[in-house]
């Protein structure tokens, strides 16, 4: 596998320190309706799942953490049923303002296609390690305990946990 310098940086960073440089580098804000992001804010605990009809339909899980939206593209969607595990590919941090974004990204721009809010709400961060996040979602469609486990580079598994009995 060959790595561009920018990609190597992403692979070496933890879930935390990424910033918005890559987000901004990939987009031309005169052409896309997406927010450039002013930075700052983001002390809350909101989440959003965007349904992104790009070249390939996928869902983007975004968690408000560390002043940005930590983001994962989930090709098959965030699991609703306990015990289900889904591939989740970590993508560039998005600005906090993106949490309310819905719209149409023009042809030829990064992520061209339509973006809609599929679910939103709050989450509780139960445990955070560089390669593992445990959290509870309280949304309109999604609720319950989830875990994200990094398996390799930007690849994570997103698992909805089974409800503990007794
Ligand atoms: Mn996307």
Dump pLDDT digits (tens) for 155-164.
Answer: 999 999 988 7
Residue 54 in any domain: the answer is: yes
What separation in Å is there between the alpha carbon of 110 and the centre of ligand 1?
9
What pLDDT score does 105 carry? 97
Structural domain of 27: 7-35+42-160
- Please write the tens of the pLDDT for every residue from 124-137: 999 999 999 999 99
Question: Measured between alpha carbons, how far is 41 from 65 in angstroms, rounded to an integer?
Answer: 10
What separation in Å is there between the alpha carbon of 165 and the centre of ligand 1?
35
Question: Measured between alpha carbons, how far is 8 from 166 in angstroms, rounded to an integer?
Answer: 45
Phi, psi for residue 114 in degrees, rounded to 5: -105, 145
Q: What is the DSSP letter of 35?
A: -
Distances (CA, A) of 31 to 78, 106, 107, 114, 131: 30, 7, 10, 14, 35
What separation in Å is there between the alpha carbon of 164 and the centre of ligand 1?
32
What separation in Å is there between the alpha carbon of 162 and the centre of ligand 1?
27
Average the pLDDT over 22-47 and give the result.
89
Residue 149 in any domain: the answer is: yes
What separation in Å is there between the alpha carbon of 38 and the centre of ligand 1?
21
Residue 166 in any domain: the answer is: no
- In this prediction the pTM is 0.87
Residue 21 has pLDDT above 60, yes or no: yes
Instruction: Name the pairing type of β-strands 85-94 and 113-129.
Output: unpaired
- Tell me how many domains the chain contains: 1
């Amino acid at each position: 596998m060959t790595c561009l310098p920018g990609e190597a940086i992403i692979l070496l960073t933890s879930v935390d320190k990424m910033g918005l440089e890559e987000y901004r580098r990939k987009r031309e804000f005169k052409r896309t309706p997406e927010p450039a992001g002013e930075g700052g804010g983001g002390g809350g605990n909101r989440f959003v799942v965007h349904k992104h009809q790009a070249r390939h339909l996928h869902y983007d899980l975004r968690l408000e953490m560390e002043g940005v939206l930590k983001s994962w593209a989930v090709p098959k969607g965030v699991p609703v049923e306990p015990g289900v595990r889904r591939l989740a590919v970590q993508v560039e941090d998005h600005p906090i303002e993106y949490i309310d974004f819905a719209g149409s990204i023009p042809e030829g721009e990064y992520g061209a296609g339509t973006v809609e809010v599929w679910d939103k709400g709050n989450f509780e961060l139960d445990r955070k390690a560089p390669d593992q996040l445990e959290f509870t979602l309280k949304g309109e469609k999604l609720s319950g305990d989830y875990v994200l486990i990094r398996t390799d580079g930007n690849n994570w598994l997103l698992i909805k946990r089974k409800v503990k009995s007794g």
